[in-house]
Amino acid sequence: MALFDQLAERYDSWFEGAGKAIFGLEVQAIRKLTVDLPRPWFEIGVGSGRFAEALGIPWGIDPSKKLGDMARDRGIKVIEGKGEALPLPDNLLGSVFLFVTLCFVDDPDKVIAEVARVLKDGGFLVVGIVPAEFPWGRYYQELGRKKHPFYSHARFIDCRNVISLLKKHGFHVENKLSTLFSPPGKELSPEVLSGYQPDAGLVALSTQFVKK
């Protein structure tokens, strides 16, 4: 996480520069999945607070102090810590959000187990992923191989493996949306489509937790 502290300004500026249109489509897709979700809401990997601010998520957690400070400046309450060890009691939350975060955590399985612990029975987890098997995922992986400062630390996961991981911990997929269908470097298509669509740059999943 020292990297994200060192490059916090570069990370955050992406949302206003090269990533502005991408971020807008991602928010549009995820917002469709947040209607009537139970509260309280909490984001893991809240970063500089861009998604939390746009979607009305009041608090979250991130290991980067500098990104957390940026999120606080946007009105988000931030805990400094990691998703693998949430400093929260059991059965506290109504909904948890993970936006392009699983590819950066040390242990995705442990993060999902922690989400299951802190969610109430019947609570929701909304996950946004860049599928490893589709053009955007392959593009970011290639940037990682070329030592991109952020993507060289990412481990992208294909959508089916993410769904299998969620099911392992008691999550049932209720809804799927896909967006970012234009290849990297091309003008973005504004579509947000239902389901798990081939070639999507972002797949957003709404999943409900049922305790065993």
What whole-number distance in Å separates Cα of residue 117 and Cα of residue 140?
Answer: 32
Q: What is the pLDDT of residue 1?
A: 60
| Residue 85 · residue 105 · CB < 8 Å | no
Q: Which two tokens stand for residue 199?
A: 């070639």
Beta strands in the chain, from DSSP E residues, in sequence order? 41-44, 59-62, 77-80, 93-99, 119-129, 171-179, 192-194, 202-209
Q: Per residue in 104-123, pLDDT tens? A: 999 999 999 999 999 999 99
Distances (CA, A) of 140 to 92, 146, 204: 35, 10, 18
Q: What is the pLDDT of residue 189?
A: 84
Q: Which domains does the chain have, with CATH numbers?
A: 2-209 (3.40.50.150)
Q: How confident is the model at residue 4 (pLDDT cuts 50, 70, 90)?
A: confident
Q: Per residue in 86-98, pLDDT tens? A: 999 999 999 999 9
Q: What is the dihedral of CA 182, 187, 188, 190, to 10 degrees?
A: -120
What pTM does this model have? Answer: 0.95
Q: Per residue in 121-139, pLDDT tens? A: 999 999 999 999 989 999 9
